[in-house]
Amino acid sequence: MLLRITHHTGYTYQDGATASFNEVRMSPRSTLHQQVLHTKVDINPSAWTLAWTDYWGTSVTSFEVHERHDTLEVTATSTVDVRRTPSPVEGISWDAVRSEELADQQAEYLAMTASVRPPKDLAERVTELAAESATPGECAQAIVDLIHSEVAYVPGSTGVHTLAADSWQARAGVCQDMANLTIGCLRHVGIPACYVSGYLMPTADPEVGQSYKGESHAWVRYWNGEWVDADPANGSVPGDRHVEVARGREYTDVPPLRGVFTGTGDSEMFVEVELTRLA
């Protein structure tokens, strides 16, 4: 699927900002499953910029605005050819997953933080799933199914700082919460897990040339001898409608836009995402 993504975001400042310093992670990655044909980041007001790749392999644009501004606008426009061809995964054993060598290699994707740590009752259920599963891959799929079936997708029910445990208690959240919960459960049983952010074309069979309102999306990758993608929010394997932008340990490694500003009032963020199938 050939997709054009337009992501328009930024801040309005209550009393204006005299300067701001920001990072943008809104440029898709070129991977085995997708090829970026074009990507551009426009900033208003005009800003000093620096493009670089972070530790996790994500494209970042840092920029500074050194003039008074009431609004900061960032528009990222990208064209991506997505071809996710399913391929069988041989998988590895529990002994391999729990080896000291793997624990050392994947230490960053095994780290447990408050953002992803599962509450006691969920941790106990996941421990039972691991004991009942013949392989890590079987356990990982059971965890994805558990989160998908028991946590309802409710837009606006949580925020970017909501802990996974709070989302589980409410049995409600958005894709970020489901990804964090899945990651915490996987790491709890020793399976390395990675947070992925990007976009999802909201329509299963979009018309060519038709634009659709979208939003940022999140899913996970887990280690099973190779990295395997899973989308707990949709209970599916990511396909041609998924466009990957960033990877990290959890959401704090991949926010589309973050920064600081100098000023006396509050700021409010706005976000608009539009996806168009080109072919």
pLDDT tens-place string over residues 112-155 = 999 999 999 999 999 999 999 999 999 999 999 999 999 999 99
pLDDT tens-place string over residues 223-244 = 999 999 999 999 999 999 999 9
In this predicted structure, what is the pLDDT of residue 88? 83
pLDDT tens-place string over residues 175-226 = 999 999 999 999 999 999 999 999 999 999 999 999 999 999 999 999 999 9
In this predicted structure, what is the pLDDT of residue 160? 85
In this predicted structure, what is the pLDDT of residue 159? 86
pLDDT at 7 over 90: yes
pLDDT tens-place string over residues 161-176 = 899 999 999 999 999 9
Residue pointed to by tokens 């018309």: 207
Backbone angles phi, psi at 180, to 5 degrees: -65, -40
Average pLDDT, the chain: 96
Backbone angles phi, psi at 184, to 5 degrees: -60, -40
Percent of the chain with pLDDT over 90: 95
pLDDT at 86 over 90: no
